[in-house]
């Protein structure tokens, strides 16, 4: 109970400081100072909440998420919207770089967990499972929305074209998975085996496919609603962004490999600087010649993933010390990243349309189970672990929220954009809390994960 009283005392102290501070401390000029204070709050509070979560036999990640909701704008408002959400002018919030740096470190870990030899020997099976899973999930979600349109208030009066667009967009968002949660769970429970490796590979490949799929669906949706033509330049920009991110990541991986080979000291400091560089690079947009009106940027997640993949498979021995440094720094990164991700959740989405969010989450859960089970049957994968594979496909987090934000901004002129956003955010929040618990059950049941604490 010590952690509970300590956490409650810290939150009380932070709340008193917020409400009794001089007004100048809450202004824009004081944001850097407040950002440092909030990082400390999330770091200590996240560690304590993770310990409390483990006491009741749930993953530490769930504790980080619950803390984020408590300190977020909807409850204590210690982490207000100005610190984590972009303004209308596109100004980068103070804590955005912290989140981007965490994404870079998590993606670097993901790349380091993927073995090319495993991917080669299991590529056909993984591809079959992935395609069947994605197809089943998209069809189930789209069909559920289409068949229930007359009972959903904000869909009942829409044209068939608009309902079809909503169904497609919701289906794509529900396909999204959280690589961060998967990596954090595998690291936290020291999981090694076919379940953890297959889950990670499917998660990473799904994100790569999803980026392309989402771009196509967005273009088709805008064309159907008459907002714009389906632009060839737009599709070229998406492809360049994807290939460019992987290429830049490979170059950064080579630089990192040279540093580890030649310098070999202060690896945690070097990692922090590398992640900051990736985060800053990801915030810049570039105008390419020949693609009028289309800006591209390099994606931090893809860059770091490419770097980790290259390092681990090209120089496995050389990179061992580097990934050990990543493992050492992972705990504080997870505390801050998942708390910030949960702080962005709009609890109003759960209070107003919670029944629709719950139904959509149930449809997604059932479709995930059916899709993975049928995909495994069609593939050549055999083993008792395969019946637990679907448990690692439930969680959603940052990527899903980004897709919802893009959709709500692109179709803000429509009557359905706001309620669809609320339903999707509510569904993501449900999956965000339930996913780690289900995956933990799978890892422990198969014996791949250990309940022994990994706290350094």
Sequential DSSP letters for 405-431: HHHHHHTTTSSSHHHHHHHHHHHHHHH
Please report where in the chains the tokens 């771009």 appear, as a residue.
215
Better pLDDT: 305 or 165? 165
Q: Enumerate residues 6+ apart whose C-beta is below 8 A from 193.
A: 385, 446, 447, 448
Output the pLDDT for position 451.
Answer: 65
User: What is the b/e burial string over 160-197, where b = at least 16 CB atoms within 10 angstroms of the residue's CB?
Assistant: eebbbbbbbbbbbbbbbbbbbbbbbbbbbbebeebbbb
Does pLDDT of 87 surpass 70? no
* Percent of the chain whose pLDDT exceeds 70: 89
pLDDT tier for residue 24 given thresholds of 50, 70 and 90: low
- Measured CA to CA in angstroms, residue 15 lies from 30, 42, 44, 75, 335 at distances of 17, 14, 15, 11, 20
Better pLDDT: 136 or 75? 136
In this predicted structure, which of 86-100, 180-194, 379-393 has the lowest mean pLDDT? Answer: 86-100
Query: Could you tell me if 392 and 421 are in contact, meaning their C-beta atoms sit under 8 angstroms apart?
Result: no
Query: Could you tell me if 87 and 99 are in contact, meaning their C-beta atoms sit under 8 angstroms apart?
Result: no
Q: What share of the chain is helix, strand, coil (3-state, %, to 5)?
A: 75, 0, 25
Q: What global pTM score does this model have?
A: 0.77
Output the pLDDT for position 453.
Answer: 47
């Amino acid at each position: 109970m010590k952690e509970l009283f300590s956490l409650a005392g810290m939150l009380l102290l932070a709340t008193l400081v917020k409400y009794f501070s001089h007004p100048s401390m809450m202004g824009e000029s004081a944001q850097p100072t407040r950002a440092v204070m909030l990082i400390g709050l999330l770091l200590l509070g996240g560690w304590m909440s993770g310990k409390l979560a483990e006491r009741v036999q749930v993953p530490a990640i769930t504790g980080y998420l619950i803390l984020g909701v408590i300190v977020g704008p909807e409850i204590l408002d210690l982490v207000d919207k100005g610190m984590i959400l972009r303004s209308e002018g596109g100004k980068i919030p103070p804590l955005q770089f912290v989140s981007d740096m965490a994404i870079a470190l998590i993606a670097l870990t993901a790349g380091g967990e993927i073995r090319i030899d495993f991917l080669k020997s299991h590529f056909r099976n993984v591809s079959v499972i992935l395609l069947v899973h994605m197809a089943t999930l998209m069809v189930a979600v789209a069909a559920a929305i289409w068949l229930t349109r007359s009972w959903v208030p904000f869909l009942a009066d829409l044209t068939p074209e608009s309902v079809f667009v909503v169904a497609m967009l919701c289906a794509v968002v529900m396909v999204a998975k959280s690589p961060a949660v998967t990596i954090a769970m595998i690291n936290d429970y020291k999981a090694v085996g076919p379940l953890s490796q297959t889950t990670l590979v499917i998660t990473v490949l799904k994100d790569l496919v999803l980026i392309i799929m989402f771009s196509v669906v967005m273009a088709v949706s805008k064309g159907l609603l008459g907002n714009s033509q389906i632009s060839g330049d737009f599709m070229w920009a998406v492809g360049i962004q994807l290939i460019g991110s992987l290429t830049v990541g490979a170059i950064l991986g080579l630089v990192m490999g040279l540093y580890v080979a030649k310098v070999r000291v202060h690896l945690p400091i070097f990692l922090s600087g590398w992640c900051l560089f990736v985060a800053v690079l990801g915030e810049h947009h570039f105008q390419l010649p020949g693609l009028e009106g289309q800006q591209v940027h390099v994606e931090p997640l893809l860059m770091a993933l490419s770097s980790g993949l290259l390092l681990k498979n090209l120089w496995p021995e050389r990179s061992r010390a580097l990934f050990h440094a990543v493992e050492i720094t992972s705990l504080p990164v997870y505390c801050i990243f998942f708390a910030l991700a949960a702080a962005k959740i709009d609890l109003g989405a759960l209070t107003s349309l919670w029944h629709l969010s719950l139904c959509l989450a149930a449809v997604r859960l059932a479709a995930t189970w059916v899709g993975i089970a049928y995909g495994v049957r069609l593939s050549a994968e055999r083993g008792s672990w395969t019946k637990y594979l679907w448990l690692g496909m439930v969680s959603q987090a940052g990527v899903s929220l980004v897709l919802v934000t893009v959709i709500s901004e692109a179709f803000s002129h429509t009557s359905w954009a706001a309620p669809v956003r609320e339903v999707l955010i509510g569904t993501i929040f449900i999956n965000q809390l339930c996913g780690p618990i289900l995956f933990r059950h799978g890892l422990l049941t198969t014996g791949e994960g250990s309940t022994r604490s990994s706290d350094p």
